[in-house]
Structure 1
Amino acid sequence: TTQLHKSITTVPEAGLHGLHGLMSRLLKTADRREFIKISQAVGMGFLIMGAIGYFIKLIHIPVNNVLVG
């Protein structure tokens, strides 16, 4: 039973070391350049999605008027 106990406890320890490395990589703070790059990507995403939504709405208004009226 001691061999089984050792094998059960060594697996989580190895997993915790990997988890610690993952968490340290994920929790690092972004530097100024990385923050600006991410902000620009998010801003472009908002603009593109807004433009797509605007044009879809613009197309559906006349189509809806033809169907209803």
Structure 2
Amino acid sequence: MAQPKQNVLEAPNKFFEDSRKFLARCTKPSAKEYYEIVRAVGSGFIVMGVLGYVVKLIHIPIRHFITV
């Protein structure tokens, strides 16, 4: 009877222990690393925005020809 109860309590304890170890290994990025990340994310937003705009630009005339 004690085994299932122990399993239920063991999973959260292991999760919190692993989380604590992970956070202990994390470090704050330097200014250079931070700006590289910002530049990568920003360029990704721009690329995805342009791609979405181009796809919408292509689909508007196609949808117009299909419905007319």
TM-score normalized with structure 1 length: 0.66
Gaps of 5+ in 2: 1-12
The structure 1 segments of at least 4 consecutive aligned residues displaced by more than 2 Å after TM superposition are 18-21
Gaps of 5+ in 1: 1-11
Structure 1 counterpart of 2:25:
25
For residue 25 of structure 1, report the CA deviation from its aligned partner: 2.2
Q: Partners in 2 of 1:22 and 1:45 — Cα distance?
A: 27
Structure 1 counterpart of 2:35:
36
Structure 2 counterpart of 1:57:
56
CA RMSD between the two structures: 2.3
Residue 41 (structure 2) pairs with residue 45 (structure 1): no
How many residues are paired up?
A: 56
Structure 2 counterpart of 1:6:
none
Q: Work out which of the two has the higher radius of gyration on C-alpha atoms and give 1 or 2.
A: 1
User: What is the percentage of aligned positions where both structures have the same residue?
Assistant: 33
For residue 39 of structure 1, report the CA deviation from its aligned partner: 0.2
Secondary structure of the corresponding residue to residue 52 of structure 1: helix
